Amino acid sequence: MRNRLFSFAALCEAVLSQADSLVHPAAAADPLARPRHRGFISGCLLTGALGLLVLPLHLAFAGAPGFAVILLMAFMLSQWPLAMVLSQTGRLDLAYGLSALVFAGFLTGFAAVSGGPASAALFWLVLVPLEAAQAACRRMVSLSALVCLGAVALLFMVPLPEPMPGSLAPLTVVLAACGAAVYAAVLAGRLVSDVRRSRKVMEERHGAAQLLSAHSNEAVLVYRPDGSMGLLGGSLDPMLDVPARQLKGDWLLQRLHVTDRPAYLMALADVRETGGPKVMNLRLRRGASEPGTPGHADYVWLRVTLRRAADPGTKDCVVLTLSDRSREHAENEALTSALGTARLETTAQSRDLARFGADLRGPLKQIIDYAAILKSRDGSGLATGASSSEAYAERIEETGQQLLEMVDTVLSAADMDSGARTANVVPFDMPTCLSGTLAELQDAAARAGITLAAAIETGLPVYAGDQEACRQMLKCLVLAAAKATQCETELTLSAKARPGHILVEMSGDPWLVLNAGPARHFITLAEKLAQLQGARLKISAVRDRCERVSVSFPLQSSHTDGRTSDRLETNNTGQLQNIA
């Protein structure tokens, strides 16, 4: 007897160890279905093994079994085929339904041989629908209930033979009720375990979905045939700045930009018709604002991928994946703007180089002509007399000065576009600097038909800045005027003290246009020289075909040391050479 008990314990252990291998592959990876399949298979295998143990014990102690015992053994051994059905098909509803029908058949046969309608086995028929409820299928529950009702009707309508000799004696009502209660408790415990397991799995999946939504910039939607949108995964709050519960119906089309709606509807129709994916960039209204409300609507750029649902039962549904591309779109726009600006600057530089090339060609041609005259042996092309030689020398010097000014300007422009310049900041007298610079430019301006006049206010405060940069800026303005004027012009330079700054202005009479044409390059250099020491250069129209240049020198300098300087906070800075 002890050996048989040990053998049964080993059999139970082997059965439980083999239950996992009998689970259907479709349920093996499902954390919710796998425990239910394993529990059903384990129960069936243990019930069949228990039947194999009970039969030899009954033969040893009670002799030949009666009809009721044979029914019990048949019911216990029939659990193995049920386990094989579940292992092969993976249909838990079918397995529980067949188990309930087998249980109802066993109870009906047991009641027929143990008293008919008066048998205590009728109490157990109440548990058959509860057994079928484990399948979570209404059809199985209804079918089992009908089978139980039919079994009761059969026991009352069909005349039954007398109880067979050797069959089990009728049990008392109390014992039958206690046995039914115990079995009902087992079934209820199984239901409670399934509910807890389902709740735990749902909480884990919900937590994983929330974690994914919090760390993902995408949202997956489903477009149903009735036009409504459903959220499958991800989060819409960071994209649209509106809770998902407020998005009802076909909210995507309502929030879509008006100009993007035709393309979206065409892509939706194409995906439904052909099934091929479509990718497009669309603008959706952000926030809780509604169409027609005052104010400016805020739109966000989204990349929308449309695919037809893979499930054949939902072929009319379209799955949409939304990903935020506002930052990428802004970067692309900034890059496009930067490329356009660089292209314009390159075009302007090419135009300036072409202009300087044309300007350099004239002086170089004159120098070559004078050199050819001087090299002639016979001097046939050279006028006689000291005055003529002096005139030729003056022309060569004048041409060389013009050529030097142009070359210095080109070098200055190149240096300003190459790197950083340090300004030598020292206190200096602004009127002395302006007067000295005008005196140096008198002859060069006169050759260009420009008369320089000064109207400098006395008592100007001492200015702390780069004196050389100030002189070069004034020379750039005079050179710009020389390039812009085509007739005799009088330039007036004035300097006045204003609260917090010194205002230096230059105006022309009868006309002066500086902010266009060949003079623009010199104006650009003058602006950079003004920015070098914190000044601000402004060109304003005084009257028709006449402009005024104003330079405001702040008295509150940002420099901290007399020999060091700030970096020029502009895109085009450089090391400036002498212009004249």
What pLDDT, in 10s, does the model give residues 387-401?
A: 666 676 667 766 666
171-229 tens-digit pLDDT: 456 677 787 888 888 888 888 888 888 888 888 887 887 777 777 778 888 888 877 88
Do 13 and 141 lie in one domain? The reply is: yes
* Residue 135 burial (10 A CB sphere; 0-12, 13-18, 19+): buried
Q: Where is average pLDDT lowest: 117-126, 276-285, 514-523? A: 514-523
**Are residues 407 and 270 both part of a single domain?**
no
In a domain, 213, yes or no: no
Q: Mark whether 93 and 150 lie in a shared domain.
A: yes
Report the domain count for the chain: 4
Q: What is the pLDDT of residues 459-511, one digit of tens each?
A: 889 898 888 888 888 888 888 887 777 677 888 899 999 888 999 998 877 66
**Between 519 and 294, the higher pLDDT residue:** 519
Cβ 234 vs Cβ 218: under 8 Å: yes
Q: Which residue has the tokens 């993902």?
A: 216
In a domain, 564, yes or no: no
- Name the amino acid, one letter, at 487: C
Residue 21 DSSP class: G
Phi, psi dihedral angles at 307 (to 5 degrees): -140, 145
Sign, CA dihedral 189-192-198-200, equals negative
Assess whether 158 and 36 both reside in one domain. yes
3 state SS of 98: helix
Q: Are residues 45 and 168 in the same domain?
A: yes
Burial class (CB in 10 A: 0-12, 13-18, 19+), 440: middle
The gap between the terminal CA atoms of the chain, to the nearest Å, is 124
Is there a single domain that holds both residue 276 and residue 169? no
Contact 456, 435 (CB under 8 A): yes
Output the DSSP codes for 504-552: EEEEEES-B--SSGGGHHHHHHHHHHHHHTT-EEEEEEEETTEEEEEEE
User: In which band, very low, low, confident or very high, does the pLDDT at 8 lie, cut at 50, 70 and 90?
Assistant: low
Domain assignment present for residue 55? The answer is yes
In 43-62, which positions are buried (b, 16+ CB within 10 angstroms) versus exposed (e)?
Answer: bbbbbbbbbebebeebeeee
**Closest among 227, 229, 256, 226 to 240, alpha carbons compared:** 256
Do residues 127 and 52 share a domain? yes
235 vs 213: CA distance, rounded Å: 5
Q: State mean pLDDT over 78-85.
A: 89
Picking from 381, 411, 441, the residue at the C-terminal end of a domain is 411
Please state, in angstroms and rounded to a whole number, the distance separating the CA atoms of residues 185 and 278. Answer: 56
Alpha helices, H only, 117-172: 127-132, 138-157
Q: Classify residue 90 by burial, with Cβ atoms within 10 Å: 0-12, 13-18, 19+.
A: middle
- Residue 235: pLDDT band with limits 50, 70, 90: confident
The domain in which residue 380 lies consists of 342-411
Q: What is the pTM of this model?
A: 0.47
Asked if the structure places residue 567 within a domain, the reply is: no
What type of residue is 53?
L
Q: Helix, strand, or coil here: 225?
A: coil
**Has residue 570 been placed in a domain?**
no
**If you ran DSSP here, which 8-state letter would residue 490 be given?**
E
As given in the structure block, the two tokens for residue 253 are: 């089309």
Together in a domain, 42 and 83: yes
Please state, for a pLDDT cut of 90, what percent of the chain lies above it. Answer: 3
Closest CA to 430 of 472, 467, 455: 467
Q: Are residues 269 and 404 in the same domain?
A: no
Q: For residue range 121-151, what is the model confidence (pLDDT) as tens digits?
A: 787 888 888 888 888 888 888 888 888 888 8
> Mean pLDDT across the stretch 265-287?
86
| 3-state SS class at 382 | coil
Asked if residue 321 lies in contact with residue 308, where contact means CB atoms within 8 angstroms, the answer is no
Q: Is the dihedral of CA 43, 45, 46, 51 positive or negative?
A: positive
More confidently predicted of 169 and 203:
203
pLDDT confidence bin for 567, thresholds 50/70/90: very low
The mean pLDDT value of the chain amounts to 77
